[in-house]
């Protein structure tokens, strides 16, 4: 397939307004992709390599801008590219506005197809993929020049439309509204005869801004799901990883057949971690082929993720909870083929060489081939855990590994097993997987308490905290392993966060029995050193309030009502509430730019005036620390 044809289809996708239309367009494109189907399926997601593949393109913005500037001609500098980027905000649009192709010379013809160069027309999807593979493979002396020349060559041969998607591909953001669920559903529609449906997990995506995480479904810029700078800060896309929905709750508004076909594609994706291979399998071998795929030792699987939750959440929904220590380290996946072991990070990078003690542990202690999920923790001389930043010092280290090993000792805490002795365990219930883990691994396995007693769970948590760990994980005992999903079957329960003292600036009258009481309270943080408005809203609280308290709060607040409209009232800042919450999230809903997750009323701070309430600055700090 010509790259120009791919770019044209990508333009159509970008312009498509509905989710359903997007799935249909992707299905058509996959059906037309011919031999290049695997590459097209990956490119649509902004990926050059399969998810399991530890090769990385590693083209940063600087290199990309430089290649664009060079191909755009002598008069164009990197700062010109950057200036235009500042104007348009998007590298694809910038690249599409240059005229390429004027540059000649040997490297102008790099780029992998047999055309004769010039602006546009001779790049193929495969040629681009091959060139990018060469860029990824270039290491050592002279590799920087090879990378530069190859990228320059690609742009130099690109038409404006091609350059747009080339630039986006290099930086991993296609921005065409094609999420993982879209490719999955389109694969089922194109090759298995499924109806074209709106992907449940991406519904409405087209209505909003294009997703920030279009390019990568990973919530995992870093082993902790942080921003990668090791400060524990969450990236904007962390919560929007695909697969937010809880397993078992996914209702499809489609016929059973379509649901089953889509599930077959989904399962194959989970097992292989490869959109390209799955699309090809669906086309060549149908549902039977998809169902026959199995895990391969040595190919990393996406890690199952956890949502924040409470013991009450767990025990409300499940018969009992499987409780484990939440270790403060970095996620690792160990693959052992019976002879040697490799280690992968949460974003599936091969970190085998950086963590020899985990390799030794696996090779010494595993009695059968296995894929083991766990946490790498740094341990001090006294055996107590060290902060996770210490572990990160060991990850990705290429030099001085032995010296670092003396400085920071890393140990394995294994908590799950995806494959043991030739058998895949993704569909096996959690407690059984844990038993299998114990069968194959003698040491370094997490303790698991299965309990429905909140006091027993609280005692387990106290022990974990006293031993220096982060808290506990609550897992649904009969749940299967869902790669890449942030479902509700794994809950991370962290100790309660600091409370906030917030000013009540509005409220809503209740309904029914509570119609004479103010029921939902609008909360605001104070903005220091600024006049009007001195407060910015941050959330609403309605839970944790007894009927008796509602009456008292109504009496307390009613005199301060300044305006009423419908059931809503505006309230003059006068009363301060102490509020607990599970997390502070960035959110456009409130004027502060933040929202509280699960806010609950703890009491009125009678000792505090609005001027003593917490400031937005403190909220900023807490949000950063969370």
Q: How many whole angstroms separate alpha carbon 426 and alpha carbon 429?
A: 8
Q: Counting Cβ atoms within 10 Å, is residue 316 exposed (0-12), middle (13-18) or buried (19+)? A: exposed
Nearer to ligand AMP, 224 or 299 (CB): 224
Nearer to ligand AMP, 431 or 567 (CB): 431
Tell me which of 326, 398, 540, 608 is the catalytic residue.
326
Q: Please work out the total of residues on this chain that contact ligand AMP, with binding judged by CB under 6 A.
A: 15
Is 481 one of the binding residues for ligand AMP (CB under 6 A)?
Answer: no
Binding segment toward ligand AMP, per CB under 6 A, in 24-32, 88-96, 147-155, 326-334 = 326-334
Q: How many whole angstroms separate alpha carbon 486 and alpha carbon 185?
A: 19
3-state secondary structure of 409: strand
Here's the x/- map for ligand AMP, 250-289, by CB under 6 A: it reads as ----------------------------------------
Q: How many whole angstroms separate alpha carbon 435 and alpha carbon 450?
A: 13
Are β-strands 449-451 and 321-326 bridged in parallel, bridged antiparallel, or unpaired?
Answer: antiparallel
Binding segment toward ligand AMP, per CB under 6 A, in 179-187, 303-311, 352-360, 605-613 = 303-311
Nearer to ligand AMP, 211 or 326 (CB): 326
Binding segment toward ligand AMP, per CB under 6 A, in 40-48, 72-80, 96-104, 323-331 = 323-331
In the 8-state DSSP scheme, what is residue 482? -
Is 36 one of the binding residues for ligand AMP (CB under 6 A)?
Answer: no
Query: Measured on CA atoms in the order 32, 177, 270, 388, is the torsion positive or negative?
Result: positive
**492 known ligand binder:** yes
Instruction: Show the tokens assigned to 198.
Output: 């709106």
326 is catalytic: yes
Nearer to ligand AMP, 449 or 602 (CB): 449
Instruction: Show the tokens assigned to 527.
Output: 């903005």
Q: What share of the chain is helix, strand, coil (3-state, %, to 5)?
A: 40, 20, 40
Binding segment toward ligand AMP, per CB under 6 A, in 128-136, 277-285, 319-327, 424-432 = 319-327
Is 492 one of the binding residues for ligand AMP (CB under 6 A)?
Answer: yes
The answer to whether the CB of 305 falls within 8 A of the CB of 58 is no
3-state secondary structure of 508: strand
* Binder of ligand AMP out of 1, 125, 473, 575 (CB under 6 A): 473
Is 327 one of the binding residues for ligand AMP (CB under 6 A)?
Answer: yes
Is 306 one of the binding residues for ligand AMP (CB under 6 A)?
Answer: yes
**6 known ligand binder:** no
**393 known ligand binder:** no
Instruction: Show the tokens assigned to 513.
Output: 């029995």
**253 known ligand binder:** no
Is 415 one of the binding residues for ligand AMP (CB under 6 A)?
Answer: yes
Q: How many whole angstroms separate alpha carbon 196 and alpha carbon 440?
A: 44
In the 8-state DSSP scheme, what is residue 255? -
Nearer to ligand AMP, 14 or 470 (CB): 470
Nearer to ligand AMP, 94 or 448 (CB): 448
Here's the x/- map for ligand AMP, 187-226, by CB under 6 A: it reads as -------------------------------------xx-
Angle (deg, nearest 10), helices 275-291 and 180-192: 50
**415 known ligand binder:** yes
Question: Taking phi first (over 0 means left), then psi (-120 to 50 degrees means alpha), and beta for anything else, what does residue 338 get?
Answer: left
Q: Which residues contact 555 (CB under 8 A, 6 or more apart)?
A: none
CB of residue 417 to ligand AMP, shortest distance in Å: 12
Question: What Å distances lie between residue 208 and 169, 177, 203, 211, 404, CA to CA?
Answer: 22, 10, 10, 8, 46
* Position of minimal CB gap to ligand AMP: 331
Instruction: Show the tokens assigned to 242.
Output: 């695909």
CB of residue 307 to ligand AMP, shortest distance in Å: 8
Among 120, 136, 92, CA closest to 2: 120
Binding site, annotated residues for ATP = 324, 331, 346, 375, 415, 486, 492
Active site residues: 326
Residues lying near ligand AMP in the complex (CB under 6 A) are found at 224-225, 303, 305-306, 324-327, 331, 375, 415, 446, 473, 492
């Amino acid at each position: 397939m010509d790259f120009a044809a791919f770019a044209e289809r990508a333009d159509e996708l970008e312009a498509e307004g509905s989710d359903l239309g997007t799935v249909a367009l992707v299905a058509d494109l996959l059906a037309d992709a011919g031999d290049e189907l695997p590459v097209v399926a990956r490119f649509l997601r902004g990926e050059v390599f399969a998810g399991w593949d530890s090769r990385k393109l590693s083209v940063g913005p600087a290199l990309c801008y430089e290649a664009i500037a060079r191909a755009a001609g002598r008069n164009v500098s990197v700062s010109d590219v950057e200036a235009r980027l500042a104007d348009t905000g998007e590298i694809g649009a910038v690249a599409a506005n240059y005229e390429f192709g004027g540059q000649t010379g040997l490297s102008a013809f790099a780029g992998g197809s047999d055309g004769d160069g010039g602006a546009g027309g001779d790049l193929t999807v495969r040629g681009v993929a091959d060139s990018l593979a060469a860029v990824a493979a270039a290491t050592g002396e002279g590799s920087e020049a090879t990378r530069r020349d190859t990228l320059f060559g690609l742009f130099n041969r690109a038409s404006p439309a091609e350059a747009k998607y080339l630039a986006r591909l290099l930086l991993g953001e296609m921005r065409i509204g094609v999420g993982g669920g879209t490719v999955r559903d389109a694969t089922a529609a194109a090759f298995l005869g499924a109806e074209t449906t709106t992907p449940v997990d991406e519904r409405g995506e087209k209505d909003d801004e294009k997703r920030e995480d279009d390019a990568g479904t990973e919530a995992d810029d870093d082993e902790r799901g942080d921003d990668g700078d090791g400060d524990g800060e969450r990236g904007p896309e962390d919560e929007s990883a695909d697969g937010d929905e809880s397993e078992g709750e996914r209702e499809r508004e489609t016929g059973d057949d379509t649901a089953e076909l889509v599930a077959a594609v989904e399962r194959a994706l989970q097992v292989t971690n490869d959109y390209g291979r799955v699309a090809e399998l669906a086309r060549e071998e149908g549902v039977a082929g998809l169902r026959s795929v199995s895990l391969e030792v040595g190919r990393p699987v996406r890690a199952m993720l956890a949502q924040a939750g409470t013991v009450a959440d767990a025990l409300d929904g499940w018969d009992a909870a499987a409780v484990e220590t939440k270790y403060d380290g970095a996620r690792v996946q160990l693959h052992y083929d019976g002879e040697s072991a490799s280690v992968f990070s949460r974003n599936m990078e091969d970190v085998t060489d950086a963590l020899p003690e985990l390799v030794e542990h696996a090779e010494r202690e595993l009695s059968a081939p296995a894929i083991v999920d766990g946490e790498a923790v740094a341990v001090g001389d006294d055996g107590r855990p060290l902060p996770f930043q210490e572990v990160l010092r060991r990850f990705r280290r290429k030099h001085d590994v032995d010296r670092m090993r003396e400085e920071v000792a890393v140990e394995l805490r294994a908590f799950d097993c995806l494959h043991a002795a030739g058998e895949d365990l993704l569909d096996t219930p959690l407690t059984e997987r844990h038993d299998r883990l114990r069968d194959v691994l003698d040491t370094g396995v997490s303790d698991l308490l299965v309990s429905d007693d909140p006091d027993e769970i609280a005692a387990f948590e106290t022990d974990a905290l006293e031993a220096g760990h982060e808290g506990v994980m609550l897992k649904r005992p009969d749940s299967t392993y869902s790669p890449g999903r942030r479902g509700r079957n794994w809950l991370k329960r962290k100790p309660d966060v600091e409370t906030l003292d917030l000013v009540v600036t509005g409220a809503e009258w209740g309904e029914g029995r509570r119609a004479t009481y103010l029921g939902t309270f609008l909360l605001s943080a104070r903005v220091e050193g600024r006049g009007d408005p001195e407060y910015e809203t941050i959330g609403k609280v309605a839970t944790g309030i007894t009927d008796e308290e509602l009456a008292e709060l109504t009496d307390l607040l009613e005199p301060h009502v300044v305006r009423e409209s419908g059931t809503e009232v505006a309230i003059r800042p006068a009363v301060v509430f102490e509020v607990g919450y599970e997390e502070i999230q960035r959110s456009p809903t409130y004027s502060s730019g933040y929202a509280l997750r699960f806010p609950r009323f703890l009491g009125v701070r009678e000792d505090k005036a609005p001027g003593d309430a917490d400031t937005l600055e403190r909220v900023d700090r807490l949000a950063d620390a969370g």
